[in-house]
Amino acid sequence: MKDSAINDQAREVLQGYMARNGLKSTAQRDTIMEAFFGSHEHVAIGDLHRMVLRKNPRIGYATVYRTLKMLTECGLAVERHFGDGQARYEPQRRGEHHDHLICRACGLIVEFENEEIERLQREVAAQHGFRVESHRHEMHGLCPRCQKAPPRRR
């Protein structure tokens, strides 16, 4: 058993989900998931496809698309839209939060975490009687570099 970017917990969730839905394990899915969970980025499908092609040049875009869809359905991936016209995905690791600072000039994305904000969020949700399952928190503006330099696209 070689080491893998997919941790045991994710593997378990996945196996349960696939078993329950009669899905099959394939070499393509393994390759795609390996690449996906190995990336720290917010990957777009196209990026991931390119990464995957280096491992197996015969994997189609649609397969990457469908695999990400599957991961999203079983909760192992989260789909995000940052405003350029394409969806991005990131691995959902339990207990981690992925809040973002996004530079509108160069596209830089910085992740941050703030437990106090999380706590206040839960409070607000409670006030409205909501049961929260996930959240998204983004701030858009200019990163330090683009505040000085005449902003140029990454």
Partner DNA sequence: CTCATTGCAAATAATTTGCATGTAA
Partner DNA sequence: TTACATGCAAATTATTTGCAATGAG
Least distance between DNA and beta carbon 42 (Å): 12
* Closer residue to DNA in complex, CB, 78/87: 87
Interface pattern 12-31 for DNA (x via CB under 7 A): ------x---xxxxxxxx--
Q: CB–CB of 100/88 below 8 Å?
A: no
Q: Cα separation of 109 and 81, whole Å?
A: 13
Sole residue written with tokens 């991931």: 48
Q: What is the dihedral of CA 10, 13, 19, 22, to 10 degrees?
A: -80
CA-CA-CA-CA dihedral for 92, 95, 96, 101, to nearest 10: 100
Q: Is 111 helix (H, G, I), strand (E, B) or coil?
A: strand
When asked if residue 142 is in the footprint of a copy of itself (CB under 8 A), the reply is yes
Min CB(150)–a copy of itself separation in Å: 15
Q: Is 56 in the site for DNA (CB under 7 A)?
A: yes
Q: Does 112 bind a copy of itself (CB under 8 A)?
A: yes
Q: Is 149 in the site for a copy of itself (CB under 8 A)?
A: no
Q: Does 40 bind DNA (CB under 7 A)?
A: no
> Can you tell me which residue has the tokens 């991005």?
88
Residues in the site for a copy of itself, rule: CB under 8 A?
79, 81, 83, 101, 103-104, 110, 112, 114, 116-117, 120-121, 124-125, 127-144, 147
